[in-house]
Amino acid sequence: MEINPLGLISAAIAFLSIWIGHVSVRKIEAITVALWKPMTILITFGLALEYAALSVSNQSLAAVFGILGVTLLWDAFEIKRQAHRVRKGHAPANPNNTRHAAMLAEPNSRATTLNILNRYPIGRAVDPEEAVRLITSH
Amino acid sequence: MNAFGLIVGVATLLIIGLGFPLVIQGERRFGYLWWPYMLGIGILIIGISLFVPVDWLSVVIGALGATFVWGSTELKEQAIRAEVGWFPFNANKIKPPFEAIIQRWKAPHL
């Protein structure tokens, strides 16, 4: 039986691009004040990769460009979603970023500099005070 | 013009989108300790894609496998999201086989 490497190539590029995208989106959103700049760059590269996917005749290369392109387009959207998470306190705010500092200073702000997810699960529901205690008490 | 890349790109995006409910529901019903099984299923699915002669189907199956592998690395954080009340918490989860052994392993997170 002949081996078809296309699925493996696609899986590898999908996994790596999700991983790198996931880490980069959090980092870029945390250090950037004007989010439209990285979003514009991501959308431009995403569309360019889709155009490249349409232009090449090699199936493996077309799949790599096609998958990488849509993940970059998705990452542009994720930058907005990440900013929303920071506002809700679901991701840590960076006080050195003036956009985040403004979120932290808002009246009744839910934003926090703490990363609530930075611990191991304990197997039961916790209230907001305990959620903070669990990540700060050790 | 070769539409193959664009089509499989969009298909991959939709399959990755399935990863969100997969992780949310999987963690709620089974718990994060199922992560080695989810990782294994993902690797198995990617392995199957090698024997699929139809190009687009091989890509779709490969992307599905990658979604399971990625999902296995998201279960731990999802468990905490449920514990802190961002998602519904289910106390009566179905325990995985070899739970005691898995508990000693560090759950992956990327």
How many angstroms separate the first and last alpha carbons of chain B?
Answer: 37
The mean pLDDT value for A72-96 works out to 97
Tell me whether A107 touches chain B (CB under 8 Å).
Answer: no
Joined together, the tokens standing for residue A78 give 């994720």
Chain B residues in contact with A117 (beta carbon < 8 A): 77, 80-81
Tell me whether A116 touches chain B (CB under 8 Å).
Answer: yes
Element (H, E) at A14: helix A6-31
Minimal-distance CA residue of chain A relative to B70: A15
Please give the model's pTM, rounded to 2 decimal places: 0.93
A3-37 confidence digits (pLDDT tens): 999 999 999 999 999 999 999 999 999 999 999 99
Q: How far apart are CA B30 and CA B32, in angstroms?
A: 7
A94-130 confidence digits (pLDDT tens): 999 999 999 999 999 999 999 999 999 999 999 999 9
* Half-sphere exposure in the Cβ direction for A106 (13 Å, CA): 16
Minimal-distance CA residue of chain A relative to B87: A125
What number of other Cβ atoms are within 10 A of residue A65's Cβ? 26
